[in-house]
Structure 1
């Protein structure tokens, strides 16, 4: 099977996985919003913050280095496997015994118990991590997608069950751990044909992987600070309830982007690593990735901007109205995220992860004073400050892409013009409906969403992709 065929097949399965998981996530949040207090979402947001931070040090950048180097040496993989397990246990110990220190900062006594429960995430995940990496390396996207779907169904079911039983924030942690445990079991079963660990541990043999990961880890640490300064400031300077509103707004507005973009990158990076010596093909691949991401996400985000006042009370119930202005700010951040997501793929494919490190460092220097100043204006001020820094990141992102791939702006802008124009047409139709027919309520909301989708779909078939191309794509699937 050619790389193009593998990419199409991977896109098919990851699209199915993304649609299912997105529906599950929105359904879960809609149910939990009626069962849990905003504080519960804030507590879980803090514990997730801690897990994500320590995960940076736990994987040493092995995921990217194994794929980039197309590693297959059994001794090297065995060393990485056992190192992962040891680090996973270490991360568990660190979280378990330092949880009280975070309680002092966030002033939430319940947080210690939540963190200690969440700490089990690490020994579970790192028993299966290398198998997940190898499945990506071998482009086994069907297996990855089906695993994600099965585990998401289990995690969502368990979360909702325990939420109904009154476990509040713990319900979300139980769901997370159960999904990760099942995922680890499945990974160990289906990927054993690519690697079975031998009793071998020699750090000297993975020096190149560790060296590759140095900039990866440095960039990840700084990116973590860049991406989570808002959460850190809100939780510490305001309160956990405000963080709960902020978390829900982010999940509603940024979730489609945060789900779709990494999966597309997951498909494309192993393929781009195989063509890393052909600059022309890399540029073409980058343009196709960013065209796909913007074409799929921009209409969803624009539609959400228009429908936020309708959607929030209908889906999440009363009490979540403070999320509406936050959602509208996050929508622009979602669009900016679409534009910067492919940068990491290009940097790793060209063997220049150091550029990501320098970009993240510059952004942190700019972002910290902006967010700190914006925190004086409350939760909305922090959101606006984060939006400003996201726009600066887009500009710097394009400068780096130009440096790595050469001139690309003309075809990029040509591709970008279509989703923008189609989305504006969608907006006009929805506004006309509101003006002459109606707006609020379930029926009007459903009709407006259907109208917007129909307009975008018709324009896509007319000016973006024809029926014959769709048939050709279907036959390739």
Structure 2
């Protein structure tokens, strides 16, 4: 099977996994928005912030180094496996004992139970994580998809059941832990034929992975701070209720980014890693990834921008109208972010994670003052605008780095992205006219807006981008 066929087959399974997971997660949030208060979402957001921060230190970039180096040495893998388990246990203790300081900073007593419970994530996840890396390295995306589907379905079911029974914010934490436990068990079962740990712990033998991971760790740390400085500011200065509104708006707006882009990038990285010396091939692949991401993400983001007034009350119920303006800002954040994502694959393929470190460092220097100043004067709306400006500057620097890695690409990129941008403008204009002359409230109008916008974008794409015969060819190739 060629690399192209492997990519298409892998994309098929990750697409199936993503589609199923997206449906369950979207239904989960829609149900919880009717059962829980904004404060509950804010509290869980703080917990996720803390877990996300410590997770940076426990991963150490091993996923990228294992794929980049195509590592198969059992002794080296055993060292990495044991190191992850030890670091995970250490982080569990640190999170658990630091809970009183976290409560003091956010002035929210409910955080004690949530944070201490969430800390158990580190005692679960790292038993199976290395096996997931190996499954991806071997392009076994069917197994990766199976793990994700079952973990998401079971975790979502537990979360919803607990929310209905009055567990409030704890329902999301418990459901997440149950889902991760299922994933870990399946990862070990499916990955066991690829790697059986042995009692070998030699940091010198794993030195190259550790050195590769240092920049990745620095990049992850800076990336976390610059990506979450807005959440830290809101939670600490404006309170968990406003953080709840902000979190719901952000999650809805970046939903296409977090679900669609990994389908492409997760499959692309292990394949591109096998052709890392072919700069011309990497450039061509990068442009194809950007083109595909643009056509997939832009209509979803544009559609959300123009239908936000209809979608929010319909899916989240009353009381969440404050998120509409934030969603419209985050749509542009999502657009800039989706164009930035392929650099990560390219940088790791070329073995230059240090470039990502410097990129995040520069973004951090810009973003924190913006968040503080705009947040002080315009509350959560100002913080969202600061996020947008920082993301735009990050994208500009992102493209400069890509030019350094693969050469000039901007002309082709601009020609490629012109069509989806024009298609989206036509779609937004048509839906806006519908809202003006017909209305936007209720299920019927929401469905009509989605059908109208989707038909226009789909029709224009078939007419000017890809034909039905090409779609049939791709379909036959992946089935």
- Which band: TM-score by shorter chain? over 0.9
Residue deviations 1:63-109 (CA, integer Å, cap 9, x gap) = 11000000000000011111111111111111111111100110001
Q: Which residue of 1 aligns with 2:234?
A: 234
Give the C-alpha shift of residue 422 in structure 1. 1.2
Q: What are the Cα deviations for residues 203-259 of structure 1, in whole angstroms up to 9, with x where unaligned?
A: 111010000011000011000001000000000010000000000001110122122
Deviation at 1:114, TM superposition (A): 0.4
Q: Distance in 1 between matches of 2:419 and 2:13?
A: 26
Structure 1 distance, partners of 2:435, 2:58, is 51
Which residue in the other structure is 2:446 paired with? 445
Partner of 1:148: 148
Equivalent position of 2:222 in the other structure: 222
Query: Which residues in structure 2 correspond to 1:20-419 (within 5 Å)?
Result: 20-376=20-376, 377-419=378-420
What RMSD over aligned residues (CA atoms) do the two structures have, in Å? 0.9
SS of 2:364's equivalent? Answer: helix
Match of 2:206, SS state, is helix
SS for the counterpart of 1:48 is: helix
Contact 1:41/1:244 (<8 A) preserved: yes
Report the number of matched residues.
477
Aligned-residue offset at 1:289? 1.0
Shift of 1:439: 2.6
Structure 2: which 5+ runs fail to align? Answer: none
Deviations, residues 133-158 of structure 1 (Å, cap 9, x unaligned): 00110111111112111111101000
- Tell me the equivalent position of 1:19: 19
Unaligned runs of 5+ in 1: none
**Cα offset, 1:438, TM superposition:** 3.0
Deviation at 1:425, TM superposition (A): 1.7
Shift of 1:15: 1.2
TM-score (norm 2): 0.98
> For each residue in 1:350-385, what CA deviation from the matched residue of structure 2 results, as whole angstroms up to 9, or x when unmatched?
111111111111111111111111111211111111
Structure 2 CA distance, aligned partners of 1:327 and 1:157?
27
* Conserved? CA contact 1:124–1:181, under 8 Å: yes
1:457 aligns with 2:449: no
Name whichever of 207-216 and 457-466 sits farther off.
Answer: 457-466
- In the aligned structure 2, how far is the partner of 1:257 from the partner of 1:12? 18
Q: Give distance in 2, aligned partners of 1:371 and 1:54.
A: 23
Instruction: Give the Cα separation in 1 of the matches to 2:6 and 2:309.
Output: 41
Distance of 1:348 and 1:10 partners within structure 2:
20
Please state how far the C-alpha of 1:428 moved relative to its aligned partner: 2.4
| 1:147-188 Cα deviation digits (max 9, x unpaired) | 111111101000000001111110000110001000000000
Give the alignment's TM-score, normalised by structure 1.
0.99
Question: Is the 8 Å Cα contact of residues 330 and 383 (structure 1) preserved in structure 2?
Answer: yes
For 2:58 and 2:433, locate their aligned partners in 1 and report how far apart those are by CA, in whole Å: 53
| Counterpart Cα distance in 1 of 2:132 and 2:77 | 13
The corresponding residue for 1:429 is: 430
Answer whether contact 2:309 2:440 (CA < 8 A) is retained.
no
* Partner-residue secondary structure (3-state), 1:191: helix
Comparing 371-380 with 237-246, greater Cα deviation is found at 371-380
Question: Which SS does the other structure have where 1:205 is aligned?
Answer: coil
**Which is further off, 238-247 or 371-380?**
371-380
Distance 1:375 1:237 in 2: 10
C-alpha separation in 2, matches of 1:148 and 1:56: 21
Displacement of 1:455 in angstroms is 1.1
